[in-house]
């Protein structure tokens, strides 16, 4: 797997500050055979200007007009523009560890999708990283002794997801290797050919979040792919932000998804092939 060309696809919307941190994290990766594809669900001149200014890293950019939440279409834009044999998907408010890509590549396996997790940082640590007072890399390297402070600051659980384990080691084998977790859209990976077989993200779910992970997971499994955990091997920090209070009624879309699942229709109709 060492020669895999990797495309890291990041979903972004306006948050250039966080994207700068992600670009820096990509430059620090221990695995170098990669490109970053910025999937912008918007078309902001400021975003394009920043991406064009990046040096020392191959960065591709896709954008579309802001017509509400169209993440599925934006991700399909990026998949089509990417050139990697292996695709890793992250969100624009998540900063990967320096070993993040290496962790995915080491565990990559034909016939499998990898599912990772994230550390939900609290407001104080997130602001210190955003402002440059702390680097995400320094927090990664000193995570264990910072853990009590991170737990105190954190508004949610999952702080244990920042602990790094060698995927070849005994602890990883005991704690993770045989787990079959759910997929979260901010940290998962697959071979390009498998995503193409599914026809990418299903854009028919509109502004709901179903297409991001819930729908993808059952479609991967229906395509006879197993879901493997890369928790502790491919870590990332999720930067704190306020919750959106907008509620989208997804009852019709959920019923549609369940009907498709019952029929085993893993290849969506409104996906990559419609671009």
The predicted pLDDT at position 60 comes to: 98
Over residues 189-241, the pLDDT tens digits come to 999 999 999 999 999 999 999 999 999 999 999 999 999 999 999 999 999 98
Q: What is the pTM of this model?
A: 0.96
pLDDT top residue among 246 and 149: 149
pLDDT top residue among 173 and 90: 90
Domains of the chain as residue ranges with CATH: 6-274 (3.90.550.10)
Q: What's the whole-number mean pLDDT along residues 161-170?
A: 93
> For the purposes of burial, counting CB atoms within 10 Å of the CB of 37, is it exposed (0-12), middle (13-18) or buried (19 or more)?
buried
Over residues 33-42, the pLDDT tens digits come to 999 999 999 9
The predicted pLDDT at position 156 comes to: 66
Q: Is residue 246 scored above 90 in pLDDT?
A: no
Over residues 93-151, the pLDDT tens digits come to 999 999 999 999 999 999 999 999 999 999 999 999 999 999 999 999 999 999 999 99
Q: What's the whole-number mean pLDDT along residues 149-161?
A: 85
The predicted pLDDT at position 1 comes to: 46
Q: Which of 186, 142, 178, 182 shows the shortest CA–CA distance to 162?
A: 142
The predicted pLDDT at position 58 comes to: 98
Over residues 55-80, the pLDDT tens digits come to 999 999 999 999 999 999 999 999 99
Side-chain-side CA neighbours of 185 within 13 Å: the count stands at 18
The predicted pLDDT at position 249 comes to: 83
Is the CB of residue 239 less than 8 Å from the CB of residue 18? yes
């Amino acid at each position: 797997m060492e020669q895999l060309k990797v495309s890291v696809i990041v979903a972004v919307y306006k948050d250039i500050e966080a994207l700068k941190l992600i670009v820096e994290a990509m430059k620090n990766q221990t695995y170098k055979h990669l490109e970053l594809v910025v999937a912008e669900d918007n078309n902001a001149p400021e975003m394009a200007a920043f991406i064009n200014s990046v040096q020392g890293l191959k960065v591709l950019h896709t954008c579309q007009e802001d017509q509400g939440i169209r993440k599925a279409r934006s991700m399909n834009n990026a998949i089509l523009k990417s050139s990697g044999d292996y695709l890793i998907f992250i969100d624009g408010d998540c900063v990967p560890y320096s070993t993040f890509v290496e962790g995915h590549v080491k565990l990559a396996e034909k016939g499998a999708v990898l599912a990772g997790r994230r550390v939900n940082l609290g407001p104080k640590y997130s602001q210190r990283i955003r402002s440059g007072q702390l680097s995400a890399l320094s927090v990664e390297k000193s995570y264990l002794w910072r853990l009590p402070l991170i737990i105190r600051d954190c508004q949610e659980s999952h702080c244990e997801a920042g602990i790094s384990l060698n995927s070849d080691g005994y602890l990883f084998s005991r704690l993770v290797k045989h787990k079959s977790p759910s997929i979260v859209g901010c940290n998962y990976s697959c071979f390009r050919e498998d995503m193409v077989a599914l026809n990418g993200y299903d854009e028919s779910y509109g502004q709901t979040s179903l297409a991001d992970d819930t729908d993808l997971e059952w479609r991967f499994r229906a395509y006879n792919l197993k879901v493997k955990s890369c928790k502790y091997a491919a870590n990332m920090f999720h930067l704190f932000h306020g919750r959106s209070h907008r509620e989208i009624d997804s009852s019709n879309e959920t019923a549609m998804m369940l009907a498709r699942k019952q029929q085993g229709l893993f290849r969506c109709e409104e996906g990559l092939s419609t671009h």
